[in-house]
Amino acid sequence: MTVHGAFLHQGSFCRNWFNLLDLLVVSVSLISFFLHSSAISVVKILRVLRVLRPLRAINRAKGLKHVVQCVFVAIKTIGNIMIVTTLLQFMFACIGVQLFKGKFYRCTDEAKHTPEQCKGTFVVYKDGDVSHPMVRERIWHNSDFNFDNVLMGMMALFTVSTFEGWPALLYKAIDANGENHGPVYNYRVEISIFFIVYIIIIAFFMMNIFVGFVIITFREQGESEYKNCELDKNQRQCVEFALKAQPLKLYIPKNPVQYKFWSFIQSTAFEYVMFVLILLNTVTLAVQHYEQSKVFSHVMDILNMVFTGLFTVEMLLKLLALRLRHYFIDAWNSFDALIVVGSVVDIVVTEFSFLQSSDDSSRVSITFFRLFRVMRLVKLLSKGEGIRTLLWTFVKSLQ
């Protein structure tokens, strides 16, 4: 505050919302420090406000500060989206009232279906044990989330949009029979269309529109930093790409024998053959099922050995063509090598376990190594340029 001034001129301390947050946190800490009387309720409240101290990190980290600024800007400009979402919520709540009002009532005794019948007591058995009967009073009660009025309907639909416990509400709607009448199992299954349409419109479309709007706001805030720059967006991206670009290192062996191996693994025919092998291996993994016959399992084990051998040959050919240093530069090659080694260990451990006794305590656990069979499916992703680009984009987004 001494350096920047208090609040009279442009750029002063109190004209920045993050500085005001710092001032609030420090003031609360100082007041609670000097007032020690625990009998004063105000002091207790101030001590609770100590939890605001971690918020000071926002003003210190540029990235966090930028995120908070974008969120506040987005909140100011998403009014129309909130209005549309609220109106849709209200519309679906009105439909829900027409469909389900008074139909979510039920008796604690499931054998009774009307308020007149739901009187007196009934016998239940603790944990289904007939030797422990208990007498309970019949109570005609409503569901916590219902559609008896529009406000309760909007609350019920809000729980559906959060995907928290909404199947229970769906089942109650399907079993709903009539007003002041108990549920009937699967009375109207087709009523589930109401919830499906609501989820598609509200939970999928409107929520994604909201997220997309926040992303656009982030971009606009980022562009505002370059409003005085002479270069436009495309020109800046070209400059940034040129500065970050790294020279492409392409290894071409000079040894004639090694060059033949390199030319072979770089050929289109080799790529297609490996792609077909990966697809066939995927099919063999997909057809495996529970309670499969011993003959079927034996055939699957043989095919697993065949595919492991072929992928091992692929790895050896690449090692001969690229040698160790250039082979492991590529992350996909390193991943392929990991899968091949794991698959070989899987075969060895599987065969070794069959030679052991059938006692579970003495058998070698092969569940972990069999995961390498499934990991071969990832090799399918490395063969598509578009999929590799998508995966690379995902990895970069995490950074």
Where do we find the tokens 């399992």?
297
Pick the residue with more confidence: 248 or 302?
302
Pick the residue with more confidence: 96 or 58?
96
Asked if pLDDT for residue 267 goes beyond 70, the answer is yes
Asked if pLDDT for residue 92 goes beyond 50, the answer is yes
pLDDT in tens, 177-194: 888 888 999 999 999 999
Bridge partner residues of 141 (DSSP)? 106
pLDDT value of residue 32: 64
pLDDT value of residue 153: 94
Per-residue pLDDT band at 164 (split at 50, 70, 90): confident
pLDDT value of residue 155: 94
pLDDT in tens, 41-66: 666 666 666 666 666 666 666 677 67
Q: Mean pLDDT lowest for which of 93-97, 194-198, 259-263, 379-383?
A: 379-383
Asked if pLDDT for residue 364 goes beyond 50, the answer is no
Contacts of 370 by beta carbon, 8 Å cutoff, 6+ apart: 346, 350
Average pLDDT score over residue span 242-253: 77
Question: Could you give the dihedral angle defined by the CA atoms of residues 78, 79, 84 and 90, in that order, rounded to the nearest 10 degrees?
Answer: 120
Asked if pLDDT for residue 170 goes beyond 60, the answer is yes
Asked if pLDDT for residue 148 goes beyond 60, the answer is yes
Query: How many percent of the chain have pLDDT more than 70?
Result: 71
Cβ atoms 354, 363 nearer than 8 A: no
Ordered structural domains, the chain, with CATH: 1-60 (no CATH), 79-105+142-213 (1.10.287.70), 256-398 (1.20.120.350)
pLDDT value of residue 111: 86
